[in-house]
Structure 1
Amino acid sequence: MRSGVKVTIVGGVFAVVASGVGYGGWNLWNGLNGGGGGGGGSDTGGVSAQSAPKKTGPPDAEEIERTAREFLAAWASGNALTAAQLTNNAAEAEPMITGYSTKAHVTEAVIEPGEAVGAKVPYTVKATVEHGGVSKPLTYSSSLTVVRGLTTGKALVDWQPSVVHPQLTKGTSLVTSEASAPPIKAVDKDGVELTEEKFPSLKGVLAELRQKYGSKAGGVAGVELAITSSDQGIPDRTLLTLTKGRQGTVKTYIDAGVQAAAEKAVKRYDKASVVAVEPSTGRIRAVANNPAQGFNTAFGGAQAPGSTMKIVTAAMMLDKGLVQGAGSKVECPATVTWEREFHNLKDFDLGTTTFQRAFARSCNTSFIKPVKPLGAEAGTALGETAKKYFGIGEVWETGVKTWDGSVPASSGAETAAAYIGQGRNQMNALTMASIAATVKAGAFRQPVIVPQSLDDRALAPTRHLPAGMAATLRQLMAAAATGEGTGAQAMASVSGVKGAKTGSAEVDGQGDSNAWFTGYAGDLAAAAVVGSGGHGGDSSGDVVARVLNAR
């Protein structure tokens, strides 16, 4: 903006203070003197806004400055109606602006606008929040954008909740009150404290644990300014603590060392998620995402898993007697047709080979052609196997919110695609880590991040794989992790008995495939997905190996 403007709230009474060149001593918002209308004030020196011709095109620099100045001044003056009418969505803007004082309990604030960049005007807010006789300072930066009103032609603030605070979104509010849950001290399996500062990927998880278990952990709630959601399933996000209350301690199954390795590993790639699970117990040892903030893709993502799904396909083939073991002979032609043509990577052809080698080399056609004789049953067999042996389709009560995978019934070419991890199959790093853990242990144990004793929640039942199936799957995954296997290079640094499976999943409109990798070593299994990461043995394999090496 061309000159400095400060709008301030003093002692709960909103007032306007001007500074800098060009504004003198007159009110910044001419509506404060009775001039101007609710549809957007104008300081054009007596020219009626109603008589002016309707403007078109982007707002000019003068309109941007004036609109931003008038909006900020109206907001600071406590006139929520006027401020809201200076936006292009007054119905949504007014209650949020009103709530700044009535719900958030902001009693003093100074807004300092910066230089406009095009139609965007940044500003810094230095505020005081007061509740129950306790006050604390709050400082943050946000911005607004000025646009042309579609119906009025006036320059208006493009209303977004982030205008009031950058972390506000539709359906959320700023509220200062007694916290909805007591604070917690979350600790790992050995009692090491877990904080979002040290482990950024755990921020959302820690908020969920607090919301769900804070009252069970012996704590006492304090007073906080928080972002609350109209969705009761979304935990509050604390912005400012006025009184701390008393912490309760929540023990998790996270391993701080493995978590640290996971956090570091995903940072090597722009979009990456990883989960580590202990096969013998199902306990979640690590979860990490890059970016760390926002949606927890590792637990909540729903994406085609590519050829990592061949672990489940192999189990189905063994269960249905389509193959007898790792040494069974299968065909691996370059292509196979099932209503459409399916290819191997670069159309490689192994001819007649063993089931083990087809798995190790990730031959698509070897996992499609033998299934065709099942006929209509082929459309449901994969999902039945996924649920029967791997718990996919059960409800997983891990202790926090997760999405637990889906292998729906299919038909036609979609069925063939499903057997190589495409089609409508959807997984995430958690479910694929669990699948690898199930193979290693010979039994599905539902993943958990906190003890069941905290809330006596129901867990999906343990499912044991037939001994012969488990042994064969381990043999297949060992072959993929060594020798000519597609995961050999990634797993080369991992010691001990190990197994792996690579995958790449094509996504419509995305140039490079998503890279998948799942594997195990010792009593730890992990799975990772890297967005647009290409071949699973490269990016996602690197993430998994780094996590397994932290065990």
Structure 2
Amino acid sequence: MDTERVSAGSGVGTEYGRGGRRTQRVRTIVVGSLIALLVVGGVSGYFLLNAPIHADARQDETVTQAEQAMRTFTKAWTTGDWKGAATLTNSPTEAESLLTSVGKNLQPTAFTIDVGNGVAERPDRSGGPVVVPFTVRMTVPKVGAFTYTSKARIVQTTGTPLVTFAPTMLHPQLKAGQTLAVAKMSTRGSILDRNGDVLAAPSLVGQVDEQTGKGVSGLQQRYDKQLGGSAPAYAVAITDRESGKALKPLRKAGGQVGRDVHTTIDAHVQSAAADALEQAVTPASLIAIQPSSGDVLAVANNPGGGFNRALVGQYPPGSTFKVVTAAALLEKGLQPSDPLQCPQFEWVNGYRFANQGEFTLPSGSTFRDAFAHSCNTAFVRSRDRLDDDSLSETAKAFGIGGVWDTGAGTFDGSVPVNTDVNDKAAAMIGQARDLASPLVMASVAATVKSGRFVQPRLVPEAIKHPFQAPRNLDPQVVSDLQSMMRSVVTDGSGDALRGLPGEPHAKTGTAEYGEEKPPRTHAWMIGYQQDADIAWAVLLENGGSGGSDAGPIAASFLKALGPK
């Protein structure tokens, strides 16, 4: 019965009774769980509060200390406390010496250093070296703004971070024994010969104003923009500490140094020309050309500065012009072997023409003889064989009167059409209005040598439109001129070259100028070597006679030149 009552009682209160017991059990579980959590939480809290500091935190602290050490170092550096900065390094003596050297050399203003974020060399190891980048900005006298980046290695040795000092830390391109200094840089390009060496020819090269750095004469002036460039004259440079010699400029980006100017000058030929002119007692020039190419091999003037008479001088060519006159006469049918009288005088409309020294040639003399001995009267007597424009037209085959693009300023000659018989008579012997430079007359000889006009060139890279002669000489005319120029040496007025090797061919000239009585004269000699690719012209201002005065200088030049 009791069991049944219990059962009946349990049955009556099923929902409530079960619910009550279930609630109690849940509460018991919850309470137990909370106790368990409290126990676990207490243990965990203990360990959280008493656990060691993580390695990442220690690494962060090392990096921070390194960055701070670098900031302290750079502050002392920028304020000029070089000794104080040095004490923060692992090599105080070396650091103080180099910091002092750089500081005194550069004398910087507006000097700042921005320290970047450090990076541990070994992220997995705390307390190790830290690399700290930094950017240097300063203003340097004569140079201006100077900026670069570098990096330092910070090491903790005795618990104190020290900057590992090395020249490459101060500037990444510095090496032992070097420093930074302000240097005047050779930013201007050079004028070079055909072999790439600096050209030694003062009157051709010209001069540079020391104050402005600008070219004021010669090729220095003509190519000033190319030679000058845009790079500043001063730069911070890697410099040898012992000698003070600048080793490498640290230029600003964008600045360009000047570009060299390359010429066709041959140093050996130039030296021979300059040496030969040493014996001249009046202003003189000697110029040499390579007939096959037109390359100008030498431009020598004595005195060597100022006016470049070899290129731009305007002189009556005198009897050297008889090469052109002879070409015109040959084209009209006169042969070298044809008889041609050479009297003491030739009168034209009351004007008397004479030979130098009033010499004559014997009866039966030929055109070749008149050319070889430079007989003025024979050429003047031949004037009627030519038209008024004959000399001007023949001169064009030698390039005379054209506009030459040589890479330098030049006078390219002038042979106007004759206006009357007296004008033609004087023009026949290179007087009247005939004008030429030594360059032009050297080119005349070169044209005979090569058989055609090849425009001279001095700076090939600058030449855009080389002049082309409107026509070439007839090959037979060229052959006759060659043999006649050889006769000048073997039998005529060019005896100063007689016996020299290389089989020289030449033409002498004595050109009158001015109003004095008797008139003053320029002495000329032009020619070429049969056995070498070279032609040349010698001019002596107020120098006397072509054969006796210009001839010895030409001989000295050819002897110094030697056989090729």
- Runs of 4+, deviation exceeding 3 Å: 132-135, 205-224, 509-512
Question: Which residue matches 1:501?
Answer: 507
Question: Which residue matches 1:546?
Answer: 556
CA deviations 1:46-86 (Å, max 9, x no partner) are xxxxxxxxxxxxxxxxxxxxxxxxxxxxxxxxxxxxxxxxx
Question: Which residue matches 1:459?
Answer: 466
How much has 1:203 moved relative to structure 2? 3.0
Letter in 2 for 1:184: G
Q: Distance in 2 between matches of 1:212 and 1:512?
A: 34
Q: 1:455 to 1:530 in 2, by over 3 A?
A: closer
1:486 aligns with 2:493: yes
1:279 touches 1:438 (CA, 8 Å); kept in 2? yes
Q: Distance in 1 between matches of 2:187 and 2:547?
A: 44
1:442 aligns with 2:448: no
Aligned partner of 2:522 among 497, 505, 514: 514
CA deviations 1:268-323 (Å, max 9, x no partner) are 222101110111111100111112111111111111111101000000001122x0
CA deviations 1:164-205 (Å, max 9, x no partner) are xxxxxxxxxxxxxxx9x972222222222214xxx3233329
Structure 2 residues not aligned, in runs of 5+: 1-139, 144-184, 208-214, 235-250
SS in 2 for 1:274: strand
How much has 1:352 moved relative to structure 2? 3.0
Aligned partner of 2:382 among 358, 370, 375: 370
Q: Distance in 2 between matches of 1:221 and 1:283?
A: 32
Structure 1 residues not aligned, in runs of 5+: 1-131, 136-178, 225-242
SS in 2 for 1:515: strand
Question: Which residue matches 1:393?
Answer: 401
1:406 aligns with 2:406: no
Question: Which residue matches 2:78?
Answer: none
Q: 1:365 to 1:188 in 2, by over 3 A?
A: same
SS in 2 for 1:461: coil
1:304 touches 1:427 (CA, 8 Å); kept in 2? yes
Q: Which has the higher helix share?
A: 2
Question: Which residue matches 2:107?
Answer: none
Q: 1:216 to 1:359 in 2, by over 3 A?
A: same
Aligned partner of 1:250 among 257, 261, 264: 261
Aligned partner of 2:317 among 305, 308, 313: 305
Question: Which residue matches 1:203?
Answer: 205
SS in 1 for 2:287: strand
1:418 aligns with 2:441: no
Q: How does 1:313-352 map to 2 (within 5 A)?
A: 313-321=325-333, 323=334, 325-339=335-349, 340-350=351-361, 351-352=363-364
Q: Which has the higher strand share?
A: 1
SS in 2 for 1:538: helix
Question: Which residue matches 1:38?
Answer: none
Question: Which residue matches 1:282?
Answer: 294
How much has 1:415 moved relative to structure 2? 1.3
Q: Structure 1 residues 292-301 or 265-274, which shifts more?
A: 265-274
Letter in 1 for 2:523: A
Normalised to the residue count of structure 2, the TM-score between the two structures is 0.57
Q: 1:413 to 1:393 in 2, by over 3 A?
A: same
| Corresponding pairs, count | 346
1:392 touches 1:405 (CA, 8 Å); kept in 2? yes
Question: Which residue matches 1:51?
Answer: none
Q: Distance in 2 between matches of 1:356 and 1:281?
A: 29
Letter in 2 for 1:284: V
1:223 touches 1:245 (CA, 8 Å); kept in 2? no
Q: Distance in 2 between matches of 1:209 and 1:457?
A: 17
SS in 1 for 2:323: helix
Question: Which residue matches 2:536?
Answer: 526
1:182 touches 1:215 (CA, 8 Å); kept in 2? no
Letter in 2 for 1:431: V
Q: State the superposition RMSD in angstroms.
A: 2.8
1:187 aligns with 2:192: yes
SS in 1 for 2:382: helix
Q: 1:285 to 1:221 in 2, by over 3 A?
A: farther
Q: 1:548 to 1:247 in 2, by over 3 A?
A: farther
Q: Distance in 2 between matches of 1:477 and 1:213?
A: 38
SS in 1 for 2:394: helix
SS in 1 for 2:260: strand
How much has 1:481 moved relative to structure 2? 1.2
How much has 1:215 moved relative to structure 2? 5.4
SS in 2 for 1:527: strand
Normalised to the residue count of structure 1, the TM-score between the two structures is 0.58
Question: Which residue matches 1:83?
Answer: none
1:264 aligns with 2:275: yes
How much has 1:409 moved relative to structure 2? 2.1
1:274 touches 1:528 (CA, 8 Å); kept in 2? yes
1:526 touches 1:548 (CA, 8 Å); kept in 2? no
1:134 aligns with 2:142: yes
